């Protein structure tokens, strides 16, 4: 271990000793994600009479992309959601300045699977797959029903108009002409729904990969709240239906698990509101636009040296998959 590793480990132990009673050591410390600005670590905090399985989300320098929630704000949001009864992890500690660990928070580690292809294909999930669409719909309804006033975090407001404008601005800043995106922006302008009567809490990245699923019981927790915002709840339902998250099950739009109708029916029953199909369609188009512009932005990350990796280069070449999905929506075949 390097000096920095030793300091980090010692700092984490000291923080856990302040956070949890009787902690004597930390075991099994390992890094789960390799992101430069956001790290995820898994470890156990061990006391003589019990062990806490834990996850640390940490940003060493405290620097994050401008659109994302700070980690202390994310921790506050997850705590508020748990108090409201939403399926989220239990946050046990928010990293303090005196911990010298940067920004971060610690939550109870939840066992289960997040890898989409395993959830969609492996036999051990056969029995829960049928129930998952309903569970996701009810989780979404719970999230959207959470009173924003109870969330002690600085959440940005982004409804239909704001989202179109934001991504048009990002696309234009890249300076690469993309006729399919131009046509899709005209479509979005022409099909812009009314702003929601009041802004709801929206997860913003509600899809496979960000949910933990257990083999016996299905949905256990919704993760990764960093782009949560206040806006239109239908955005989350549409994002779950984006073709790239169907993993080959093209005719089962709801995460490759079920139909749009099944998702919407379960959501309407749980939320007590109606979902306008035209609004859902707008947000599916907006979702594919968001994914297209996000991937298009990776060219700059790659070329500038910010992340000059094969993986980044390949993500930059994924703009076309969203252009494919946008074209199918425009032609009315998706």
Partner 1 sequence: MLDQPNPDEVLEVVAQMLREQFAPQLPGSAAFHARVAANAIDLVRRQIAAGERLEQASLARLRALLGHDGDADALERELCERIRDRSLDASTPGLLDHLMASTLAKMSIDQPAYASYRRALKEHPGLDPN
**Whose Cβ is closer to partner 1: residue 155's or residue 183's?**
183
d(CA 302, CA 316): 8
CA torsion sign for 154, 287, 225, 129 is positive
Buried b vs exposed e over 88-112: b needs ≥16 C-beta within 10 Å?
bbebbbbbeeebebbbbbbbebbeb
* 178: contact with partner 1 by CB under 8 A: yes
* 130: contact with partner 1 by CB under 8 A: no
Burial status of residue 179 (CB atoms within 10 A of its CB: 0-12, 13-18, 19 or more): exposed
Contact 193, 278 (CB under 8 A): yes
Binding letters toward partner 1, positions 148-177, x by CB under 8 A: -----------------------------x
**Whose Cβ is closer to partner 1: residue 144's or residue 178's?**
178
| Closest CB 161 distance from partner 1, rounded Å | 18
**Token pair for residue 169?**
């601005």
| Closest CB 330 distance from partner 1, rounded Å | 6
* 180: contact with partner 1 by CB under 8 A: yes
Count of CB atoms situated within 10 Å of the CB of 257:
27
Q: Given candidates 44, 99, 268, 321, which one binds partner 1 under the rule CB under 8 A?
A: 321
Size of the residue set binding partner 1 (CB under 8 A): 33
* 323: contact with partner 1 by CB under 8 A: yes
* 10: contact with partner 1 by CB under 8 A: no
Total length of the chain:
334
d(CA 252, CA 130): 12
* 253: contact with partner 1 by CB under 8 A: no
| Closest CB 108 distance from partner 1, rounded Å | 23
Closest by Cα among 189, 167, 143, 198 to 287: 167
d(CA 333, CA 48): 61
| Closest CB 63 distance from partner 1, rounded Å | 23
| Closest CB 158 distance from partner 1, rounded Å | 23
Phi, psi of 86 (to 5 degrees): -80, 150
* Contact window for partner 1 (CB under 8 A) among 89-97, 125-133, 225-233, 241-249: 241-249
Name the residue with tokens 């074209």: 327
Contact residues toward partner 1 (CB under 8 A) are 34, 177-180, 182-183, 185-187, 243, 246, 248-250, 309-311, 313-314, 317-318, 320-321, 323-325, 327-328, 330-331, 333-334
């Amino acid at each position: 271990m390097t000096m920095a590793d030793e300091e980090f480990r010692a700092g984490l132990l000291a923080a856990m000793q302040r956070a949890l009673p009787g902690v004597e050591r930390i075991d099994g410390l390992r890094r789960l994600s390799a992101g430069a600005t956001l790290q995820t670590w898994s470890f156990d905090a061990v006391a003589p009479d019990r062990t806490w399985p834990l996850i640390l989300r940490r940003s060493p320098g405290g620097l994050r992309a401008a659109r994302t929630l700070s980690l202390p704000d994310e921790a506050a949001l997850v705590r508020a959601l748990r108090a409201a009864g939403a399926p989220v992890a239990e946050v046990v500690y928010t990293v303090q300045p005196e911990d010298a660990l940067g920004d971060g928070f610690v939550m109870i580690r939840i066992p289960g699977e997040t890898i989409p292809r395993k959830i969609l294909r492996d036999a051990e999930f056969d029995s829960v797959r049928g129930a998952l669409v309903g569970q996701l719909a009810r989780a979404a309804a719970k999230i959207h029903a959470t009173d924003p006033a109870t969330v002690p975090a600085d959440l940005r407001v982004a409804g239909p108009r704001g989202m179109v404008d934001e991504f048009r601005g990002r696309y234009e800043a890249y300076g690469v002409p993309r006729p399919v995106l131009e046509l899709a922006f005209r479509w979005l302008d022409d099909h812009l729904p009314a702003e929601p009567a009041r802004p709801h809490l929206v997860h913003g990245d509600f899809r496979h990969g960000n949910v933990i699923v257990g083999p016996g019981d299905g949905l256990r927790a919704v993760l990764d709240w960093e782009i949560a915002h206040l806006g239109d709840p239908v955005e989350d339902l549409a994002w779950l239906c984006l073709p790239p998250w169907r993993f080959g099950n093209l005719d089962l739009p709801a995460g490759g698990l079920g139909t749009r109708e099944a998702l919407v029916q379960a959501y309407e029953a749980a939320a007590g509101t109606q979902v306008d199909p035209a609004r859902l369609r707008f947000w599916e188009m907006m979702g594919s636009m968001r994914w297209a512009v996000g991937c298009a932005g990776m060219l700059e990350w790659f070329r500038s040296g910010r992340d000059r990796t094969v993986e980044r280069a390949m993500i930059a070449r994924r703009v076309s998959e969203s252009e494919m999905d946008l074209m199918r929506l425009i032609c009315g075949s998706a």
